[in-house]
Structure 1
Amino acid sequence: MKKAGVWLETGEMFFHDGLNIYVNRVSERFDLPEHEHDFIEICYVWSGSGFHYIGDETIRVSQGDLFFLPVGVSHIFRPSSPSAKEPLMIVNCIFDEKLFRFLTSLLPDEFGLYRFRMLLSEPGQWLRLHEKAGEFKRLFDSLYAEFASKRIGFETMLVGLLLQLLIGIERAMEPEAGTALADAAAYRIERSLQYIRERLHEKVTIAQVARHAGIGARQLQRDLSAQTKLSFSALLLKERIDRSRELLTDPSLATLTVADAAARCGIPDLKRFHRLFKQATGKTPGQYRSSIRAANDSS
């Protein structure tokens, strides 16, 4: 099936008898078309070298390279040359998105596979890693052997091996535990703040924000306390007041009423808004707007 000039591979071409995992090993050629798929694919360079074309990028690959490709990412491998002495051999493990979401939700949110959730939250994102000591090869050896032999219980074994592979990839994304964890927490806070700021006019709960960040509410509160020294409710209030200050002093919104500003930042109760605003700034909304205007006029 073709989609906008790119060959579309669908799960029904590979998944049979209710098994939504498929493993194969192929020698890449020049006549194979660029394609995308409606399933998730993990590709491992078994042997040889060549190039991997992913979207608009061209990446030189060699034995030990691994790629995690979400749904809809177009790609194709090519050998270094038609006469390469060693063929470019790729092992592919493909599985549907429903299985992936099940496996990544087995552990509690606060110590689950949150990097994958962050990866898939951004459209078109993919991942490249290189093994350190054959750790991915051993797992792909087992995956390929189980799929090829189809011994009793191989379906369950494949699911278990896939989970091991996902955990192995998660670990490989964390070269320095302390730094990586801090970076991950900072990224979660950034995503959380973006989510909050886009919805200040709505009722926003910590559960909603935690789901967006891909972690549990308790973990998000711990991250917030460590990064901002504020509780969730205090941070939300700070963001609302900061937004109202921007609205009240925006020259293009000179006719905006205090009531409208309060509603836009999610505090529609005008009496409560006045009290909270004065607590935060030392001035009423009207006094604050007038002082900023006077300062701008005198400059």
Structure 2
Amino acid sequence: MSRTSPMLEKGEQFFEGDMSLYVNRVSERFDLPVHEHDFIEICYVWAGTGFHYIEDQVMRVRQGDLFFLPIGVSHIFRPASARPKEPLMIGNCVLGEQLFRFLTSMLPAQHGLYRFRKLLAGTDGWFRMREKAGEFGALFDDLLREFESKRTGYETMMCGLLLQLLIGMERTLEGEPEPPSPSARLDAVRQYVRDRLHGALSLSEAAERAGIGARQLQRLLRSRTGQTFTDFVQKERIDRSCRLLTDPSLSSLTVADIASRVGLSDPKRFHLLFKRATGTTPARYRLEKSR
């Protein structure tokens, strides 16, 4: 399965008028493309079994699983079987970010929904949970019924049901530890890089250390530092080489020795990267700093 350039779904494809809320129930197929969206989506596994591909992770799903997917997360469901008698039925509750912010800010933080605010502020806020006794399924039944019947006041009724769903999800999260903040994840990646700066570094290993997928890590780095993982590593290597070059206790080390200590065994490449970052050569930098 290709995970490059996912198709973008827009809320305008689903929303009618001023109502940025849409609910459906679909049977997943193998020919549907990986996609991301400019809206928030809550997905419920209504029936069957299959797999959910989220970013660069794959997980088995079954009836009762529920997913919260923020804006920009690429994903797709796939059934476990191509047999029509074994469908994977998914309920999708699609809502605009403005409506979500309104519903999660109606009450002060001490009255609930504070976890959703933190998740919305993060770059990797998708999560998965399971219902305990059909509570999510019952709410999705009611949401779909109201959406399809469009009886008087259905918009208000749907907002009330959606708020119940969010509170139910909040209660399920109560027994789980707080997810690491984006800053904590970035600190974990930085420590991983610094601990292994002298050797080979892996994007997948760094992402695992942060507890997220590789694509999510790239997005986190871009949002927090404006860098790719490669840029991030190179900056750490140049920063450490600057410290090593100006350490009086290491004056006996050659520039090539220092390049090797920061994981750049090719002196020419080290020279190029160092000059590009500092505007001068390693030897001249050492000389100027020693004066």
TM over 0.5: yes
Identity %: 62
Query: In the TM superposition, what is the alpha-carbon distance from 1:36 to its structure 2 partner?
Result: 0.3
Residue identity in the other structure for 1:61 = V
Aligned pairs for 1:98-113 within 5 A: 98-113=98-113
Query: Which residue matches 1:234?
Result: none
Q: Contact 1:105–1:112 (CA<8 Å) still a contact in 2?
A: no
Partner of 2:47: 47
The AA in structure 1 aligned to 2:12 is: E
Partner SS state of residue 29, structure 1: coil
Shift of 1:4: 5.8
Contact 1:72 1:124 in 2 (8 A): no
Equivalent position of 1:94 in the other structure: 94
The one-letter amino acid of 1:65's match is D
Q: Aligned residue for 1:172?
A: 172
Match of 1:59 in 2: 59
Distance 1:84 1:66 in 2: 23
Q: Supply the distance in 2 between the matched residues of 1:187 and 1:22 (Cα, whole angstroms).
A: 31
Deviation by residue 1:145-176 (Cα, 9 ceiling, x = unmatched): 0001100000000111011000000000113x
1:202-221 deviations in Å (ceiling 9; x for gaps): xxxxxxxxxxxxxxxxxxxx
Stretches of 4+ aligned residues off by more than 6 angstroms? 250-253
Equivalent AA in structure 1 for residue 14 of structure 2: F
- The answer to whether the 8 Å contact 1:53/1:59 transfers is yes
CA distance in 2, matches of 1:70, 1:35: 13
Q: Which amino acid aligns with 2:85?
A: K
Contact kept in structure 2, 1:34 and 1:74, CA below 8 Å: yes
Aligned to 1:81: 81
CA displacement, residues 103-127 of structure 1 (integer Å, 9 cap, x when unaligned): 1111112333111111122213201
Distance across 1 between alignment mates of 2:73 and 2:124: 6
Q: Is there any run of 5+ residues in structure 1 with no aligned partner, and where?
A: 195-249, 254-299
* Structure 1 residue 95: Cα displacement: 0.3
Q: Find the counterpart in structure 1 of residue 133 from structure 2.
A: 133
Instruction: Give the Cα–Cα distance (whole angstroms) in 2 for the partners of residues 25 and 78 of structure 1.
Output: 15
| Structure 2: runs of 5+ lacking an equivalent | 188-242, 248-291
1:155-166 paired onto structure 2 within 5 Å:
155-166=155-166
Aligned partners of 1:112 and 1:133: how far apart in 2?
22
What's the CA shift string for 1:53-89, capped at 9, x where partnerless? 0000001000000000000000000000212632000
Contact kept in structure 2, 1:25 and 1:89, CA below 8 Å: yes
Q: In the alignment, is the contact (CA less than 8 A) between 1:52 and 1:60 conserved in 2?
A: yes
* One-letter code aligned to 1:151: R
CA distance in 2, matches of 1:67, 1:159: 19
Query: Which residue number in structure 2 is paired with residue 246 of structure 1?
Result: none
Partner residue in 2 for 1:278: none
Q: SS where residue 124 of structure 1 aligns?
A: coil
Q: Quote the Cα distance in structure 2 between the aligned partners of 1:165 and 1:83.
A: 32
After superposition, the CA RMSD in angstroms is: 2.5
Report which of the two structures shows the higher radius of gyration computed on alpha carbons. Answer: 1
Q: 3-state SS of the aligned residue for 2:67?
A: strand
Tell me the TM-score normalised to structure 2 length.
0.60
TM-score by structure 1 length?
Answer: 0.58
